[in-house]
Amino acid sequence: KGRKESFLLSILIYLFSFLLTLPLDSFS
């Protein structure tokens, strides 16, 4: 039942960690 939720959660964590590794200069 919770497989889809855990899948989406893993994607959110992956995207969040990816954003953290990006240099702040790319946002400006």
Torsion of CA 23, 24, 27, 28, to 10 degrees: -120
Task: Give the C-alpha separation, 22 to 13, whole Å.
Answer: 14
Query: Residue 1 has what pLDDT?
Result: 64
Query: Residue 19 has what pLDDT?
Result: 87
Query: Residue 22 has what pLDDT?
Result: 80
Query: Residue 26 has what pLDDT?
Result: 65
Total domains in the fold of the chain: 1
pLDDT digits (tens, 9 = 90+) for 1-28: 678 999 999 999 999 998 888 876 766 6
State which residues form the domain around 20.
1-28
User: Residue written as tokens 């702040």?
Assistant: 24
